[in-house]
């Protein structure tokens, strides 16, 4: 069985046309396989990234997103800085109406660090939200 | 024991009269058994769909909804596109006051994708929500 | 040991005076033991009901509530219809300031259905809610 | 949309030929929709049944099992007694190599009752079990 | 609505005939509503009791069990002692083939205490257990 | 080892000076060890209380709070009434800016009851809340 | 971005040499994306498969395993039968020392069905298991 | 293997320049390893701290934060007081736009205490929040 | 309100007579509030201890156990060493039939360490265990 | 604040003398931060490793274990092969009485792979295990 065609880490993010630009709708990606290293000590860092975005004309192509995240594997990066950089890179190629990135970093020195960054397009406003009642948790039997 | 009367996948969504059109109330369907295939590679995709809707004159009939979802089994469909199409199809036959569709797709390339799309009837506004306090989680014993 | 005095299903809901009518406060009942049957096929249906209510002059008596829910055991009832009917019945005897009923139905045809209905007294408005910060989930040990 | 062909509760359990009688293998059914009533007070009781069985020549047909459980809806039954009766009924029609029934009853008087009954065919012995290591629970991020 | 016939705490445990004495089967009671007080300081203690028993000729009657547990409400009792006493009392009236009592006590001084006591009838041996494979936990979607 | 100095149930709630009256901040107590009895039948009731409060000049002293809750052990109390009474008692001694009490009662007659009561000081208004994004749930491995 | 090289469902299972045949070690695959259809009604069925195996000379190649499971997409298959067939197919190409397959099927008619099948090589015996103590669940803070 | 360079508890909090001061973004630290002692009895207390902050010109350096929390190990501190003090200390060195500290204390006397304190910079206002729909919990298989 | 009588950390473990020495029964303590420091770096370490013991003539007194664990607060201790030492100390004063200590340490350097140590009295053998069937997890409604 | 002394990935595992060689006791390490790459495609793989070991004369030093796992970051490795290699490497330097390694790999192609490998010293036998009753899960309140 031959391997997949060779692929490689890349800072190049691909896009495709938003199939429903007439609506504000949410696309969420969860990327549990992020790693970079600490610029001071060189030791590896790990994180789980969540991207919530409302696209405008362009969507992010999934495979290029995977290779973009891979591209950080050999780079040094501070927690607060890298989360902001990734936000800026996705904003640059897709110009989304809204994007929020959440990075949850593995524990260091007994302390857990999470970083949440967002960007919204100038002039864009979210439609007033329709709050639906949350369903109560039910349980009728014993554990 | 004879089988059920033959049934088949169908794009035909049936409706029935809303039994309480004087109220805005929520109907939620959860459909964990969705599958289609990827239009590029032909490989199967899987997802869990949730439909939250506030009907107007018509409700969606449950059995036809099941066969409608079944109809995607042999079709190719991109994640963002199919979620929008299903929304549009339900809107067309029921003209609901409000509908939101959430699709959670199985992992591909190490990345999880979720898509959330909504539609609201022109001129319709949700009643101001009554926020009830959420009940705190309690636990008095160990583990 | 003699049995309890005979009791029976009943559509009769009893009430008692609200002990604190000067306050808007929440009473929540959870009723995991609901069953009726499907009017088309006669087969049994099961659901979990949650009632959230802010009473006015009258509260619902717990034991009669139990027997009221029991009264559906031999009736046919569609999901959307029965949830609305139960709401209307409780409204009729208690005239609450606010009531919300959530019915979570057991899976049918691979699809889960939940229905949420509410009623509010004319002219009544909820006090502006005091949002308290939700407590973050903490964990310091592994698994 | 016409209803399904009429069906009805029935004590008749159907069987079909075990497709792999040369192996001891486990079939587990979980039946969350059980209800009967208390023979003393007439009030409804609810339970969740789990059936674990290793069949011999015959398997239980799923649809008849559903209608069998439905047949208890209008019968009075003590917790300990009904669990034993259901075991005996399934044993009678399938003569399984092994069967275990677990009934978890909804709380009564502040006390939860669970009953577990089993039967094994004379002379049948379970093959020595192959214990596989259980996978440790892992978690690399915070809550 | 008149109250139930008066009931009262009682050390008297009632029994009834085991409906299936020809089998060794498990009856489990969970009693989350136990309280007594500390004999040294007089302060209230709380616990959750679980009783696992394989009866011989007699079963414990559920309602009397409730009143038996209630009878500890005004007594002083050390954790280790009271768990053993309750075991002895149930053994005395039912002479079970096997019984195990687990008491989980609320935290005191930052330490959680659990006590597990068992009794088996002389000469009784559990049938060799049929180990069924435990079902692996599966999850196909993201959280 | 001698016992602690004798302590006793008491309706007397002690207070101490709020160490940061210049801020609106939240103090939450969770009291899982509450019991009283039903005024009609005399049987014990159990509940878990949560107190959320924003103090003004005075805070509630923890040890007296424990003894206050203990004082209900031998009193009869309806669910709705006792929750309101406890609120009133704490309001009387601390005159808080805001207080909310949530009582979750153990199941009775197959129905779970929860009661939520609140009080706010005249003229006091909560600062506009700073909504922080909630962290998405992540999972990168299988169950 | 060009698609992956075309792939297709296939009954052909590939193997590779076991890199550590001198040891009995466990390989577990979890396949949450299984679907076939019911041979009686033609409706789709869904299941989650878990394969636990101790290989001998050959291991199953992961990508062919994916395509093998895909090959059931357009076939009719009864729950008990298909689980046994998949076991037999993997046994045929790998001749493992031990294999166990667990299939958890989506609910039908309100009943959940799970099937567990195993095969062991003639003459092979599992090494006596080293039981390690399971780690108790701990929690030091409130929920 | 030589030890790390000697480190010590310290009240000195270090800072570094905010890498993205043009945005309001969230940094969350979770510190599960906090301990101090009770000023009345000298006994140890334990807590889990969560810090949510929106920095202005300066961020808190992670390692100094660890040593700052360590510095409370030998100090006496009341729950309400120490939470406020830690807030004030971090405010003093970073002058953040917003900060919220949540302290969850281990149970004492059967009661759990949580304290939540916040500070916001004069004139700073949070951007109107973009509410994203929360993803419904889905489950298609049994337990 | 005066403080409790002064108490202090102590290596002195107190005992009392086993109230049921005629039985082998389990006493489990969970101690979530353990801290010591690393002998190399001086930094604090945290752990959760679980003690499972079957006593012989003597039981461990709860309050002295609390003060014993407190006594490690200012000591340096390696993970493997301190778990063994605590075992030895409890064995010395109680001479139990069986004891097992589980220590779960907070993460260091991205790795979680757990240590489990046990001791059994010479000549003592556990009674053959009565395996009770574990209750299957049930769920009838959607998450 | 200067960085830690430079550290680097290394295949060198350090050991120290077992502080309690007279006992068979368990040391468990959990390593959630493992990554290597696929030797065919070069793409990154991720896994969670658990090491359970009963040491003989030597224990593994924690910091060198961290750097050992780091050393795989730039190596290609098949799932089954690398798990066996890591086992062999730790066996070589510590000659443990027993060791078991569990590797849980992130999903690839929709399939999750877990590998469990073990080694035991010639002639070593685990002491007969003392089975302690597992504590039943309890819950007395609603959700
Ligand atoms: Ca729920
Ligand atoms: Ca359960
Ligand atoms: Ca929490
Ligand atoms: Ca834990
Ligand atoms: Ca896991
Ligand atoms: Ca996690
Ligand atoms: Ca899920
Ligand atoms: Ca999470
Ligand atoms: Ca996981
Ligand atoms: Ca916790
Ligand atoms: Ca599951
Ligand atoms: Ca349930
Ligand atoms: Ca549920
Ligand atoms: Ca538990
Ligand atoms: Ca609990
Ligand atoms: Ca609860």
State the pLDDT at residue J40: 86
State the pLDDT at residue H128: 75
Contact G28 J113 (CB under 8 A): yes
Ligand nearest to the CA of G106: 11
Ligand nearest to the CA of D135: 5
Mean pLDDT of D108-133: 87
pLDDT tens digit at each of 143 positions of chain J: 444 555 789 999 999 999 999 999 999 999 989 999 999 889 999 999 999 999 999 999 999 999 999 999 999 989 999 999 999 999 999 999 999 999 999 899 999 999 999 999 999 998 877 777 767 655 444 33
State the pLDDT at residue D53: 95
State the pLDDT at residue E139: 45
Ligand nearest to the CA of G141: 10
Contact I63 F14 (CB under 8 A): no
pLDDT above 60 (res I5): no
**How far is residue B56 from each of residues A90, B11, B16, B98, B117, measured CA to CA in Å?**
39, 21, 11, 8, 19
**Three-state DSSP class for J101?**
strand
pLDDT 10s digits, G86-137: 999 999 999 999 999 999 998 899 999 999 999 999 999 988 777 777 776 5
State the pLDDT at residue H74: 94
Q: How confident is the model at residue H129 (pLDDT cuts 50, 70, 90)?
A: confident
Contact F106 J141 (CB under 8 A): yes
F-chain residues near E43 (CB < 8 A): 7, 70
What share of chain E has pLDDT > 70, as a percent? 88
Distance between CA B44 and CA B38 in Å, rounded? 6
State the pLDDT at residue E10: 92
Give the chain B residue whose CA is nearest to the CA of F102: B135
Residue C61, annotated as binding a ligand: yes
Mean pLDDT of D68-88: 95
pLDDT 10s digits, E91-135: 999 999 999 999 999 899 999 999 999 999 999 998 877 777 767
Residue among A59, A63, A132 whose CB faces B109 most closely: A63
**Three-state DSSP class for B9?**
coil
Fill in the DSSP letter of residue E76. B
The Å distance, Cα J143 to ligand 1 centre, comes to 9
Catalytic option among J36, J45, J55, J59: J45
Residue C33, annotated as binding a ligand: no
Q: How confident is the model at residue G6 (pLDDT cuts 50, 70, 90)?
A: low
Distance spanning both ends of chain A, measured CA to CA: 47
State the pLDDT at residue E6: 59
What share of chain C has pLDDT > 90, as a percent? 74
The class of domain F25-120 in CATH terms is alpha beta
Q: Which CATH number applies to I19-120? A: 3.30.1130.10
Which residues are found with C-beta within 5 Å of the ion, ligand 15?
B 139, 141; J 139
Q: How confident is the model at residue A2 (pLDDT cuts 50, 70, 90)?
A: very low
Structure token pair of residue E28: 């489990």
pLDDT above 90 (res B70): yes
Strand partners, C46: C35
**How far is residue A121 from each of residues A12, A50, B143, F65, measured CA to CA in Å?**
22, 19, 46, 52
Distance between CA C16 and CA C20 in Å, rounded? 12
Quote the Cα angle for E85-E87-E89, to 5°.
70
Structure token pair of residue F94: 């601390």
Contact I29 E109 (CB under 8 A): no
Q: How confident is the model at residue F128 (pLDDT cuts 50, 70, 90)?
A: confident
What share of chain G has pLDDT > 70, as a percent? 90
Structure token pair of residue I86: 């605590």
Mean pLDDT of D52-65: 96
What share of chain H has pLDDT > 70, as a percent? 90
* Domain ranges (residues) in chain E: 15-120
Question: Which residues of G lie closer than 8 Å to B, measured between beta carbons?
Answer: 3-4, 6-8, 32-33, 35, 40-44, 46, 70, 73, 106, 136-139, 142-143
Contact B110 J110 (CB under 8 A): no
Structure token pair of residue F81: 């009434």
State the pLDDT at residue I2: 47
Residues B52 and A130 sit within 8 Å (Cβ to Cβ): no
The Å distance, Cα J135 to ligand 15 centre, comes to 12
pLDDT above 70 (res C5): no
Distance between CA C60 and CA F57 in Å, rounded? 38
Which residues are found with C-beta within 5 Å of the ion, ligand 10?
G 139, 141
**How far is residue I60 from each of residues E107, F47, J132, measured CA to CA in Å?**
16, 32, 19
Q: How confident is the model at residue B21 (pLDDT cuts 50, 70, 90)?
A: very high
The Å distance, Cα D110 to ligand 3 centre, comes to 27
pLDDT 10s digits, G19-51: 999 999 999 999 989 999 999 889 999 999 999
Structure token pair of residue D100: 């275990």
Q: How confident is the model at residue H114 (pLDDT cuts 50, 70, 90)?
A: very high
State the pLDDT at residue C138: 54
Q: How confident is the model at residue B45 (pLDDT cuts 50, 70, 90)?
A: very high
The class of domain J15-120 in CATH terms is alpha beta
Residue among H133, H139, H140 whose CB faces B116 most closely: H133
Q: What is the mean pLDDT of chain E?
A: 88
Residue D14, annotated as binding a ligand: no
Contact E135 D111 (CB under 8 A): no
Distance between CA A130 and CA A57 in Å, rounded? 24
- SS3 string, A17-29, reads ECCCCCCCCEEEE
Ligand nearest to the CA of F141: 9
State the pLDDT at residue B127: 80
Q: What is the mean pLDDT of chain C?
A: 88
Q: Which CATH number applies to B27-120? A: 3.30.1130.10
A-chain residues near C48 (CB < 8 A): 138, 140
Kindly list the catalytic residues of E: 38, 45
Nearest-CA distance from A32 to chain F in Å? 5
Structure token pair of residue J90: 């730790």
More confident residue, I77 or I44: I44
Fill in the DSSP letter of residue F79. H
Q: From the annotation, which residues of B make up the binding site for substrate?
A: 60-62, 79-80
State the pLDDT at residue I126: 86
Residue among B132, B133, B138 whose CB faces F48 most closely: B138
Structure token pair of residue G91: 């046994």
State the pLDDT at residue F95: 98
Residues D63 and D16 sit within 8 Å (Cβ to Cβ): no
Quote the Cα angle for B112-B114-B119, to 5°.
170
Instruction: Identify the chains in contact with G, defined as 3+ C-beta pairs within 8 A.
Output: A, B, C, D, E, H, I, J
pLDDT above 50 (res D143): no
Distance between CA B114 and CA H132 in Å, rounded? 12
More confident residue, F127 or D109: D109
G-chain residues near E135 (CB < 8 A): 102, 104, 114, 116
J94-110 burial string, b = 16+ CB within 10 Å, else e? bebbbbbbbbbbbbbbb
Residues F75 and F36 sit within 8 Å (Cβ to Cβ): yes
G-chain residues near A12 (CB < 8 A): none
* Matching residue, tokens 């008149």: E2
Q: How confident is the model at residue G9 (pLDDT cuts 50, 70, 90)?
A: very high
I-chain residues near C107 (CB < 8 A): 142
Question: Which residues of D lie closer than 8 Å to C, measured between beta carbons?
Answer: 3-4, 6-8, 32-33, 35, 40-44, 46, 70, 73, 106, 136-139, 142-143
Residues A116 and H25 sit within 8 Å (Cβ to Cβ): yes
Q: How confident is the model at residue I139 (pLDDT cuts 50, 70, 90)?
A: very low
Contact H113 F59 (CB under 8 A): no
**Three-state DSSP class for C108?**
strand
Question: Which residues of H lie closer than 8 Å to E, measured between beta carbons?
Answer: 46, 106-108, 110, 138, 140-141, 143
Mean pLDDT of C121-130: 86
3-state helix, strand, coil in chain F (%, to 5): 15, 35, 50
Testing the interface with I: which of G136, G140, G142 to mutate, by most I Cβ within 10 A?
G136
Instruction: Identify the chains in contact with H, defined as 3+ C-beta pairs within 8 A.
Output: A, B, C, E, F, G, I, J
Distance between CA C113 and CA B59 in Å, rounded? 13
Distance between CA B46 and CA B104 in Å, rounded? 9
The Å distance, Cα H139 to ligand 13 centre, comes to 10
Distance between CA B42 and CA B76 in Å, rounded? 7
Q: How confident is the model at residue A129 (pLDDT cuts 50, 70, 90)?
A: confident
State the pLDDT at residue H136: 66
pLDDT 10s digits, A54-108: 999 999 999 999 999 999 999 998 999 999 999 999 999 999 999 999 999 989 9
**Other CB atoms closer than 10 Å to residue E61's CB: what's the count?**
16
Residue among I132, I133, I138 whose CB faces D32 most closely: I138
Distance between CA J97 and CA A64 in Å, rounded? 47
**Other CB atoms closer than 10 Å to residue B127's CB: what's the count?**
9
pLDDT above 70 (res D64): yes
Look at phi and psi of residue A4 and say left if phi exceeds 0, alpha if psi is from -120 to 50, else beta: beta
Residue A117, annotated as binding a ligand: no
Q: How confident is the model at residue E2 (pLDDT cuts 50, 70, 90)?
A: very low
Distance between CA C80 and CA C101 in Å, rounded? 12
The CA dihedral of B117, B66, G106, C36, to the nearest 10 degrees, is 110
Mean pLDDT of C123-136: 78
State the pLDDT at residue H40: 86
pLDDT above 90 (res I60): yes
The class of domain G26-120 in CATH terms is alpha beta
Residue among J1, J2, J61 whose CB faces H1 most closely: J61
């Amino acid at each position: 069985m031959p391997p997949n065609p060779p692929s490689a880490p890349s800072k190049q993010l691909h896009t495709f046309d938003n199939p429903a630009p007439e609506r504000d709708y949410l696309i969420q990606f969860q990327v549990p396989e992020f790693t970079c290293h600490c610029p001071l000590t060189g030791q590896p860092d790990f994180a789980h990234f969540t991207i919530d975005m409302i696209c405008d004309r362009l969507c992010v192509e999934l495979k290029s997103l995977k290779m973009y995240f891979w591209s950080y594997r050999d780079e040094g990066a501070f927690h607060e800085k890298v989360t902001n950089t990734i936000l800026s890179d996705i904003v640059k190629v897709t110009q989304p109406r809204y994007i929020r990135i959440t990075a949850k970093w593995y524990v260091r020195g007994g302390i857990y660090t999470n970083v949440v960054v967002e960007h919204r397009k100038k002039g864009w406003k979210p439609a007033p939200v329709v709050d639906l009642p949350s369903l109560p948790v039910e349980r009728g039997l014993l554990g």
